[in-house]
């Protein structure tokens, strides 16, 4: 984590003591969060991250900032304070009130907390373990990015303890859903398919951009239910996330999979090109939001 963090409208030292156990959402994971890629000082695809958080907060009954522009300005101020021009940003909205354990010192219904860190270093290809029934697709809260993330972290750590990079999660029907912090795609010829939201997967921002914005000639991207057997017939499998973009899958525990063709590489380039266009469109706003870089 970098030196400064954002706590509501204040930029403070990351070592500051500003949180309280009496904030209901802090100890129960009652809140929402998102992770953004900072490119040239610009929060990439900010509008999509904000809208997903707002939607998830409404479902979870978490009070949420109504002013998207103000939140963006505060996040840019944090980026500039940390000089985090190429970085990763995490923003959380934590519910403060409600229930038996609410503390007496709470003065706001929620806290906005954000911090930055460096970019992750990812392998060229990833190796996946597998977790049956890792997602419950019929849950009312399936696909919600809730602050209570311990289950995903435990599986992610287990994967690394076993010499793997990520865990592929199946739902209660045995269908492919997602990874602990990434969506998954399977390539058949020139078509890349990702499980629909009905599989219980998170509506990832990179996933959404590949479906709607980051296009490349000759390649079709669509939603389709996938089984583990389908993955064995795919020409290529890759995962996507805000911090990883597009990463090919080298192996999946218990399956025989292939990694042939160039579709993942071409879609990665399409994402990079889309990000460049986005940054070009938003760079001037980022520079003026907090008085320049």
Percentage of the chain modeled with pLDDT above 90: 87
**Is residue 166 situated within a structural domain?**
yes
- Considering the domain architecture, whether residues 110 and 133 belong to the same structural domain is answered as no
* Per-residue pLDDT reduced to its tens digit, 265-280: 999 999 999 999 999 9
**Is residue 290 situated within a structural domain?**
no
Q: Using alpha carbons, list the distances in angstroms from residue 196 to 62, 137, 211.
A: 26, 10, 11
- Considering the domain architecture, whether residues 231 and 140 belong to the same structural domain is answered as yes
- Considering the domain architecture, whether residues 82 and 142 belong to the same structural domain is answered as no
* Per-residue pLDDT reduced to its tens digit, 200-248: 999 999 999 999 998 898 999 999 999 999 999 999 999 999 999 999 9
- Considering the domain architecture, whether residues 192 and 87 belong to the same structural domain is answered as no
The residue among 86, 117, 148 that closes a domain is 117
What average pLDDT does the structure give for the chain? 94
**Is residue 239 situated within a structural domain?**
yes
pLDDT of residue 107: 82
pTM of the model: 0.93
The structural domain count of the chain equals 2
- Considering the domain architecture, whether residues 271 and 140 belong to the same structural domain is answered as yes
**Is residue 282 situated within a structural domain?**
no
Residue environment code for 108-123, b if the CB has 16+ CB neighbours within 10 A, otherwise e:
eebbbbbbbeeeeeee
User: Domain range spanning residue 111?
Assistant: 4-117
- Considering the domain architecture, whether residues 158 and 103 belong to the same structural domain is answered as no
pLDDT of residue 293: 36
Q: Does residue 292 register a pLDDT over 50? A: no
């Amino acid at each position: 984590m970098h030196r400064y963090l954002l706590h509501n409208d204040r930029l403070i030292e990351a070592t500051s003591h500003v949180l309280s156990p009496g904030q209901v959402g802090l100890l129960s994971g009652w809140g929402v969060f998102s992770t953004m890629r900072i490119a040239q000082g610009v929060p990439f695809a900010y509008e999509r991250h904000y809208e997903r958080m707002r939607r998830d907060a409404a479902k979870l009954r978490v009070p949420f900032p109504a002013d998207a522009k103000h939140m963006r300005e505060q996040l840019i101020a944090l980026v500039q304070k940390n000089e985090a021009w190429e970085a990763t940003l995490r923003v959380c909205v934590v519910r403060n009130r409600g229930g038996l354990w609410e503390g007496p010192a709470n003065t706001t219904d929620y806290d906005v907390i954000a911090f930055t860190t460096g970019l992750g270093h990812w392998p060229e290809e990833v190796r996946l373990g597998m977790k049956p029934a890792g997602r419950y697709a019929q849950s009312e809260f399936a696909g919600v990015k809730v602050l209570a993330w311990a289950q995903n972290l435990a599986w992610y750590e287990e994967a690394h303890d076993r010499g793997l990079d990520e865990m592929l999660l199946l739902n209660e029907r045995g269908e492919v859903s997602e990874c602990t912090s990434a969506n998954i795609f399977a390539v058949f010829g020139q078509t890349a398919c990702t499980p629909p939201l009905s599989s219980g997967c998170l509506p990832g921002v990179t996933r959404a951009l590949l479906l709607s914005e980051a296009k490349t000639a000759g390649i079709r991207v669509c939603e389709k239910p996938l089984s583990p057997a389908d993955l064995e017939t795919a020409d290529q499998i890759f995962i996507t996330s805000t911090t990883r973009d597009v990463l090919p899958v080298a192996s999946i525990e218990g399956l025989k999979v292939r990694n042939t063709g160039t579709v993942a590489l071409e879609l990665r380039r399409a994402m990079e090109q889309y990000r460049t266009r986005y940054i070009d469109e938003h760079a001037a706003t980022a520079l003026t939001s907090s008085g320049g870089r």
